[in-house]
Structure 1
Amino acid sequence: MSSPQTTDAAYYLPLGVTAGYEHFTPTQSTVSVWTDSMQHGGPPSALLVRALEGLTQVPGMSISRVTVDILGAIGLSQNRTRAIVTRPGRQISQATAELDVLGPDGRFRTAARATAWLLASTDTAELVTPSEVFGAATEDTAGGAPPDWIAMGWATTGFISSVDFHRLGAGSSRPNLTWLRSRIHLVEGETASPLSRFACVVDIANGLGSTLSPREWTWMNTDTTIHLHRPPTGEWFGVDAQLVRGERGFGYTAADLFDQAGSVGRSSQTVLLTRLPV
């Protein structure tokens, strides 16, 4: 059975373009599990990737790495994005996108930034590292969020309620591998690219990799870096994640990433560990 259906058709409603910025209204489907006054990291990451993909690039270039840094709470007021090429090139290029949030003083502040490396695409099929292929979820096998998340109420509101989950579980060579699919559009009236849809759900790796009790701890990530060895395809994406915890209040989450054709790449996230008050 799928998780509860969201009422929103998209994470963002388009408001138009002014002075090189695209403006959006975030919907309730972007809301974080940690507080209902800010967005989960997934939809803003996807919106930033969308901005990067919208740049005019040299033909034959592909995004090989993207890092999203969360610079502050990404609020639910008007958002805007803009992307620029910061290092042009025919074989190696760098692009940066920023997401700004409208503050109560009427000014925008930058709340997230994505930096991407784009590399020239050539035929290296003879060098491909073999990858195991895992069966992705289907409409019939997709289920709800992890039990702890359901108990916390995370699965019925906000971003998590817009995502289908399917964990392979015992009997698989990767029992923690979880297939994810967002059920709604990124921007109303648009069909998002596979890379944007992929970026939207990869942020969830931090939650899937944790074995901590959400009643005792928070584990918020400050960033997400995705390394790709090929572009992702399809709608379902697999995440096999582990949260590594340190003794000084922080750690990191590392995840192997898949689509239905096999391995796509790897992600890492810096994590702040905080004990909740008793």
Structure 2
Amino acid sequence: MRAPSPGLSAEGAETFDPLPSTAGPWSPDAQHGGPPAALLARAVERLPEAGDGRIGRFTVELLGPVPLGPVAATARVVRPGRSVQLAAAQLHDVARDRVVATAAAWLFPRTAGPGGDPGPLPHTPADGSAHPRPQAWHGGYLDAIEWRWIHGGLERPGSGVVWMRAPALVVGEPTSPVQRLLACVDSASGASAALDVREWGFLNTELSVHVLREPIGDWLCLDAETTLADGSVGVATSSVYDERGLVARSAQALLVVPRRAGS
């Protein structure tokens, strides 16, 4: 079963009108972190200076809720170079005229290296199972993604292993491998929720992804874990795989707070 709707529809060169399928689990009025991260990666990849480079590290800072209203993405190279380049991107809330997310991306050359794939996982999406969405979470993004759980679940506290398939990021446009990766990897904190989502919120303030190689195919697997202490800070980490093997590792800083009654 395919996701019911694509991620974002374009209005002009760099301005986008988010669809309801981008809404996050905490509120129907704010986007999940995956689509904005992927949109910022798209802006970087479309830079003329990017040329034949590829994103090797991508860090997103979430400065506030990303609305389900028009947003505009821009990017520029801030550190040019013959071997590696550093690009920066911003996502603007058009209605409120403010920056809601920024990204920094290191671009690496597409050259052959000495390493090799560690080998595929012992399971595929066909081995996973679909779980119903937790009633405490909103739909939108969670309903648009195809989930095939190997271990854990959004409704089960603890670590999680899940295959994910995201819909198209922009209507009528192919989604690049790194855009597809970023649309999914922000879900590590939810896939490994360490607390009851009816009582606690755990919102990520940033996302850092080290991309070892670009993923192949539509499906990605997150092997995710959340670590908590006795304060308001948590850390969600994941190893990300395609059906060939490891493609990336990620980390997110989480704000851990009690949920208000009715939220």
User: Same fold, TM exceeding 0.5?
Assistant: yes
**How far does the alpha carbon of each residue in 1:71-95 deviate from its partner, in whole angstroms, 9 at most, with x for none?**
1110112110111111111111001
Q: Is the 8 A contact 1:74 1:101 kept in 2?
A: yes
Bigger Rg, which one: 1
Q: Is the 8 A contact 1:67 1:226 kept in 2?
A: yes
CA distance in 1, matches of 2:205, 2:137: 23
Alignment-derived partner of residue 209 in structure 1: 192
SS at match of 2:49: coil
Structure 1 unmatched runs, 5+: none
1:242 aligned to which of 215, 225, 239:
225
Deviation at 1:60, TM superposition (A): 4.1
1:161 aligned to which of 143, 161, 167:
143
SS at match of 1:47: helix
SS at match of 1:252: strand
**Are 1:218 and 2:207 counterparts?**
no
Alignment-derived partner of residue 92 in structure 2: 100
Deviation at 1:223, TM superposition (A): 0.9
**How far does the alpha carbon of each residue in 1:213-265 deviate from its partner, in whole angstroms, 9 at most, with x for none?**
11110111011110011111111001011110121211110111111110012
Aligned residue pairs, count: 255
Structure 1 ranges of 4+ moved more than 4 A: none
Alignment-derived partner of residue 135 in structure 1: 123
Structure 2 unmatched runs, 5+: 153-158
Deviation at 1:59, TM superposition (A): 4.5
Alignment-derived partner of residue 179 in structure 1: 163
SS at match of 1:169: strand
SS at match of 1:185: coil
Q: Is the 8 A contact 1:134 1:262 kept in 2?
A: no
Q: Is the 8 A contact 1:142 1:164 kept in 2?
A: no
SS at match of 1:51: helix
**Are 1:71 and 2:55 counterparts?**
no
Alignment-derived partner of residue 8 in structure 2: 12
Q: Tell me the percent identity.
A: 32
CA distance in 2, matches of 1:189, 1:260: 26
2:23 aligned to which of 24, 31, 38:
31
User: After the TM superposition, which of the residue ranges 215-224 and 56-65 deviates more from structure 2?
Assistant: 56-65
User: After the TM superposition, which of the residue ranges 33-42 and 53-62 deviates more from structure 2?
Assistant: 53-62
CA distance in 2, matches of 1:110, 1:58: 23
Deviation at 1:134, TM superposition (A): 3.6
2:81 aligned to which of 89, 92, 110:
89
